[in-house]
Amino acid sequence: SDHRLDYPISPQDMDWSDYFPAYFSKKRKLDDTADSHEETVAETRTTSDVQLDTKKVEIADIGCGFGGLLISLAPTFPETLILGMEIRMQVTAYVQDRITALRNQSLTKKDEGQDVIPGGYQNIGIIRGNAMKFLPNFFEKHQLSKMFFCFPDPHFKARKHKARIISRTLLAEYAYILRPGGIIYTITDVEDLHLWMAKHLDDHPMFERLPEEEQEEDVCVKIMRTDTEEGKKVARNQGSKWVACFRRIEDPV
């Protein structure tokens, strides 16, 4: 449950080096100074050609499950840091192992002079967390360019609807961490949930729906239709998939 989840007091306190070791140096807590309580420590690097501590996570996969979307997005946006957030501990550990294996494979290939996929999977990470509670602790205002909600839990019963990951309150939070022009991607096999998510996003003043044509041209929509584990299950069962994408509009002056 939540009391065992680690989360930073603010985005500035977050140490990303465990998740993206090729891009961040380790932050060390210093107990003996009052005002500056952190310093960065040079760590063993997995790649030498990047400047450390300059990037921020820009894409988030909320409730990422087994990581299929992350792994497909990795070479599509090799210069962008992509984070999956997942509440289940064992699933998170599984995805972490998957990422580590892909990174190691990539490094070995590189050492052997073989071609590797762009980014070498150094740009994807997974964190255990409750996305309904702590997102603003991880991401600052306007930090994200894309948020994915792929096959979220439907919580069918009316009295359970408050547990849905798209709600008026949570949309205010997503609008805060998304930059103007940023996109929320949703996909589900439950029509009722699709209508619910689209309605809440439609009703929200900070979001506008992407025109069908633009949606269908978006490479991320193609990936999210086919590459998540839940999406594959739905395809095997010949179920329908409903997609709705919304753009975060400019802040009103």
Please state the residue numbers annotated as binding site for S-adenosyl-L-methionine: 63, 86-87, 130-131, 150, 228-230
**Under rule CB under 6 A, residue 91 binds ligand SAM:** yes
Give yes or no: 251 in active site.
no
Chain-centre distance of CA 161, in angstroms?
23
User: Which of 80, 96, 122, 228 is close enough to bind ligand SAM by CB under 6 A?
Assistant: 228
**Under rule CB under 6 A, residue 210 binds ligand SAM:** no
Gap between the Cα atoms of 110 and 114, Å rounded: 5
**Under rule CB under 6 A, residue 189 binds ligand SAM:** no
**Under rule CB under 6 A, residue 151 binds ligand SAM:** yes
Q: Which of 153, 202, 203, 227 is the catalytic position?
A: 153
Report the nearest approach of ligand SAM to the CB of residue 69 (Å). 6
The β-bridge partners of 184 are 147, 246
Chain-centre distance of CA 64, in angstroms?
7
**Under rule CB under 6 A, residue 230 binds ligand SAM:** yes
- H helix or E strand, kind and range, residue 99: helix 89-111
Report the nearest approach of ligand SAM to the CB of residue 40 (Å). 29
Which of 109, 133 has the CB closer to ligand SAM? 133
Write down how long the chain is. Answer: 253
First-last CA distance in the chain: 40
Gap between the Cα atoms of 12 and 226, Å rounded: 35
Binding site for ligand SAM (CB under 6 A): 63-65, 68, 85-88, 91, 130-132, 150-153, 228-231
Question: Which sequence positions are flagged as catalytic?
Answer: 153
